[in-house]
Amino acid sequence: MRVPTSRRKVRDGIALNANPLWLHIEKQGRRNGAGSSVLSDVQYERRPHIPFVVWLLALAMVASFGLTGQYDPDGHQWVYYQFGIFSERFYPSSPDHYQSIDQAIAPILGHMFVHFGWPHIIMNMIAYLQAAPFVAHRIGGARFLLLFLLSGLGSAAGFILLAPHAGPAVGASGAICGVFGAYFLAVRPTPQAALADPQVRNAMLTFLGVNVLLFAFLPIGIAWQAHLGGFIVGALVYPLLAPRWRPSGPWG
């Protein structure tokens, strides 16, 4: 998710920056007799097609991008001010606060489908397609859709609570962080087993270090608060949505 580096009038445009949500997950599965890890791509070679719901959400983001002119941010600034999250507007103490929940629904849900130009949506699509197919296969299409939307709500909540005077924030990266939060717990038969595995824990810490801590200290206008909120919600929701059957994950 992105936010302007400074407040400007509408005619001056919205200053947003690239959001490289990226984490390479080492495809590591079987273990040899000595107990050390060995690389294995067998499970990935046999992986089924990308679920329909994954394509559906990707299509919704791309369609929104094209139909509302997000490829030309300076020429379509109304999109960011109508669907972007302005934290202050969610606080009753603000003179410009939302008068009803109906007014707040558009940014709370819509920010996930708004991106600031080509680099923003391309990077988010790359990250999304890294983790979304596996998680969708794990929990099913309907549950994956619920996970994505709830992670987006967590993303909005994280930004509103931790950046009360910032905005507008737009982009799907917060929801995508929620998908990654679920992904890390899905790569082992149970979430408990995933958290007990040092490899999984290290990957989670690396992901959070890049997408939260690093962006928190870099003045580049990336909403790390949204990343954190989405990740937490995705990780909390996944155990509730995970099926009782426990297939093996891409790491064994």
Q: What is the mean pLDDT of the chain?
A: 83
| Burial degree of 236 (CB within 10 A; 0-12, 13-18, 19+) | middle
In the chain, the DSSP E strands lie at 28-31, 37-39
In 107-222, the DSSP E strands lie at none
Q: Which residues pair with 222 in a beta bridge?
A: 2
The sign one gets for the Cα dihedral 171, 174, 178, 180 is positive
Return the structure tokens found at 126.
Answer: 């790359």
pLDDT tens digits, residue range 15-27? 333 333 333 333 3
- CA atoms of 86 and 167, how far apart (whole Å): 4
Is pLDDT larger for residue 39 or for residue 218? 218
Cβ–Cβ < 8 Å for 211, 177? yes
Q: Is the model's pLDDT at 5 over the cut of 90? A: no
- CA atoms of 208 and 215, how far apart (whole Å): 10
**Long-range contacts, stretch 89-92, CB < 8 angstroms, 24+ apart:** 89/167, 90/160, 91/164
| Confidence (pLDDT) at 224 | 95
| Burial degree of 247 (CB within 10 A; 0-12, 13-18, 19+) | exposed
- CA atoms of 177 and 179, how far apart (whole Å): 5
Percent of the chain with pLDDT over 90: 67
Band of pLDDT at residue 6, cut at 50, 70 and 90: very low
Return the structure tokens found at 95.
Answer: 């003179």
Is pLDDT larger for residue 37 or for residue 58? 58
Looking at residues 31-54, what average pLDDT do you find? 54
Spatial CA neighbour of 209 closest among 183, 188, 231, 185: 231
The sign one gets for the Cα dihedral 91, 97, 103, 104 is negative
H or E element at residue 206: helix 198-208
- CA atoms of 134 and 249, how far apart (whole Å): 9
pLDDT tens digits, residue range 125-151? 999 999 999 999 999 999 999 999 999
Is pLDDT larger for residue 193 or for residue 25? 193
